Amino acid sequence: MRPTMMLRPGCIQRGHIGTLTAVFSLQFLVLLPLLCYTMPFSLYFKLTTRRADASKQAVLLNRERVKRARGYIENLSTDNSRYYTSLLEKGNQVFLAVAVLTVNRPRSDDGNRTMGYLVQSATALDKFAKSREFMGKTFVFICNVDVKPHSHKDAVDLKRYLPFTERYGSSDFHSRDFHVPNNKTVTYDQMLHEDVYEKETYDYMYCMRVAQSLGPRYILMVEDDAVAHPDLAPVLHYTLGNHFGPNTDMIQQNKSFAYLKLYYPQRWQGFAFELIRLLELCSISCIGGGFFVFVMYVLTFVVKGRVMVNKLYGRYFLMGMLFLMLTAMAVGRQNVLELRRVSKYLYQFRSSPGCCTQAMLYPTHMVRPLVSHLAAAPPGTHTDLIIYNFTRTTGTPAFQLEPNLFYHVGMYTSLKIGNKRPDEFLFHL
């Protein structure tokens, strides 16, 4: 048997310094630039892509998605709306009510077309409602809160295909006029608002109350610029069944969660100087450290029959940590999170931040106290902050699921006209 040799620290460092330099150079100067220059939120995307070019690309991608969504809607039978309303007539309890809150928005740059946000959102949610996991127990409806509902062309066009209700108009599936909280004489359609944020809050309350009237177990509030990810059905089904439903040992948790946030702006999901995210980055780095040590063990002991001293293992572990840490930071946490989509079991819970309301899932029993809290808020307060304050006031936990289960398509907001950063709008469906 061939005797093994003990390698001195200096010898192994001199022998592999050139290899390590080549590995780092290949990774950060060749491979990552080639793979990441078109990847939003990566360092290389920021260095190589002008904002104006990214905005043009986002507009083109939006037009492609709108074209496909309109094609899907046009191929639906006009009895599609009847499919949903029949769920209410059968006497079966609706498991999930999905309210698509919408208001007329600015038209596209040429002034001739709408931006098509609502039709994208409606298409994705109709597919979701007819998925294997949610078929026959999910009610999707358009909640048009525009003061002039007939001016909202996209919402009017969708009336033939999906159930709808209008805060300042008619409804095709319920006839109740809901009163404003703490006022039994005034209904939502009788209220006009000078403050845009107050109107946004009361619009949200109205759509939530309509959804609650259907008697579902859960309510999914979706703004019209949020588009469901294809993984929404399997991930949400697993999450509700195993974390908040009867299949979990923590049955009491179902009574205590205020909401589950399914979208959070990607621009705020990067690595940051927060304890949780620093620990996450450190955990990712440890994988690199372990990999480097394994490779060096194979190269020295298995191949050459030599043994490294423990001190060298530690040095290579730190080198591997640095390698993967820099890689993760260059790729961007937003893109690292995408690896979790491999399995529904890999999605992670976080404590919910205050922003935003694009896609929120509520247990039905939370609606009444939440609506009362929203109505009591001072005018001018943002809806998402009022909802967040509700969780702080009541001590009810709220969660966020990562990665996002909704995309954001709203480059133009309904509250003010303006072009947002295009990075998070660069995606394909």
Q: Give the pLDDT confidence score for residue 106 in this predicted structure.
A: 66
pTM over the 0.85 mark: yes
CA distance 313 to 231: 41
CB 296 within 8 A of CB 313: yes
In this prediction, residue 304 carries a pLDDT of 57
- Other Cβ atoms within 10 Å of 309 Cβ, number: 13
pLDDT in tens, the chain (429 residues): 455 454 454 444 565 677 888 999 999 999 999 999 999 999 999 999 988 888 888 889 999 999 999 999 999 988 888 889 888 886 678 999 999 999 987 665 444 456 899 999 999 999 999 999 999 999 999 999 999 999 999 999 999 999 999 999 888 887 667 888 877 778 888 888 888 999 999 999 999 999 999 999 999 999 999 999 999 999 999 999 988 866 555 444 444 799 999 999 999 999 988 899 999 999 999 999 999 888 887 777 655 556 566 667 788 899 999 999 999 999 999 999 999 999 999 999 999 999 999 999 999 999 999 999 999 999 889 999 999 999 999 999 999 999 999 999 987 766 554 567 888 888 877
Distance between CA atoms of 86 and 75, rounded to whole angstroms?
Answer: 20
Six-digit token string for 288: 């690199």
Q: Round the average pLDDT of the chain to a whole number and report it.
A: 87
List pLDDT tens digits, range 204-246.
999 999 999 999 999 999 999 999 999 999 999 999 998 886 6
d(CA 284, CA 151): 51
